[in-house]
Amino acid sequence: MSAPAAVILAAGKSTRMKSELPKVLHPILGRPMIEYVLDAARTAGCEKIVVIVGHKAEEVKAALTQHSDVEFALQAEQKGTGHAVMMSAESLADHDGPVLVLAGDTPLLKGSTLSRLLDVQQQKQAACVVGTAITEANEGLGRIVRDAEGNFLRIVEQKDATPEEAAIQEINTGCFAFDGRQLFNALEQVKPDNNQAEYYLTDCAEILRKAGETVVAEAAFDIQEAMGVNTQEQLAEIAEILQRESAE
Ligand code: UD1
Ligand code: MG
């Protein structure tokens, strides 16, 4: 079995940053924010990292050339998170092991939390482990739907949710640990049949569960750790948190 690999999504355009610089290159304490995600993936044991680039792809690649364990895959058109991960299929064709899927705009991720996702995936021989967090501030995030026994059923995006589902406070952080082979099998079955007409990565979890595979939703994250940067204000907030952490 191969050592874990990571796929980091960084193809999306971020209008809310109101900046020409690609979002994942915005510096935090002097380093592009995506480098914090690379660090966390490495700490969790990932030996190969595929960064999905799209919006301002050349600029993102140029800024990360010194990372010898990073490969790039181009998503020319942004058709959703599932479509983005699909772009890494070629880079991971020979990979036979776990795959972490992460976003490039979540610099507070901890290697130890990602290790926990990988441990659960191995221990349970799960096809998919969804990293979740509990929060009242669930606006805009995917909700985790469970059955009466607490077993994972599916992830529902806010735009597709019923009012009852929208009230759920367990959310998808966007961090997953998959069995690599199962991930790409499931991605082939994802269809853009939702209110955003996108290929959702999140659909893989339900596809695998329905195929009889083990899918686990693990509330491993503190909501702050999974916080993504969408605005300059959030960037400043995260810089302050990292500054405090490095001072300690
Ligand atoms: C996604 C999840 C949602 C989760 C949230 C956590 C899906 C369908 N939904 O929602 O359940 O709660 O993240 O933050 O996955 N990206 C690409 N290419 C694309 C689309 C997105 O590279 O075609 C990248 C973005 O740049 C970003 C990441 O993927 O880094 C997440 O995309 P975003 O559009 O923010 O997804 P959400 O709708 O927030
Ligand atoms: Mg988002």
The distance in angstroms from the start CA to the end CA of the chain is 38
**Domains of the chain as residue ranges with CATH:** 5-247 (3.90.550.10)
Nearest alpha carbon, ligand 1 atom 26 = 12
CA of 81 to the centre of ligand 1 (A): 5
Q: Which of 16, 146, 154, 181 is catalytic?
A: 16
Check residue 1 and give its pLDDT: 86
31 in catalytic set = no
Does 22 contact ligand 1 (Cβ within 6 A)? Answer: no
Does 105 contact ligand 1 (Cβ within 6 A)? Answer: yes
172 CA: nearest ligand 1 atom: 12
Please give the torsion angle defined by the CA atoms of residues 24, 180, 42 and 134, in that order, rounded to the nearest 10 degrees. Answer: 70
CA of 223 to the centre of ligand 2 (A): 14
* 62: CB partners within 8 A, 6+ apart: none
Does 227 contact ligand 1 (Cβ within 6 A)? Answer: no
Task: Give me the tens of pLDDT residue by residue for the chain, a chain 248 residues long.
Answer: 899 999 999 999 888 999 999 999 999 999 999 999 999 999 999 999 999 999 999 999 999 999 999 999 999 999 999 999 999 999 999 999 999 999 999 999 999 999 999 999 999 999 999 999 999 999 999 999 999 999 999 999 999 999 999 999 999 999 999 999 999 999 999 999 999 999 999 999 999 999 999 999 999 999 999 999 999 999 999 999 999 998 98
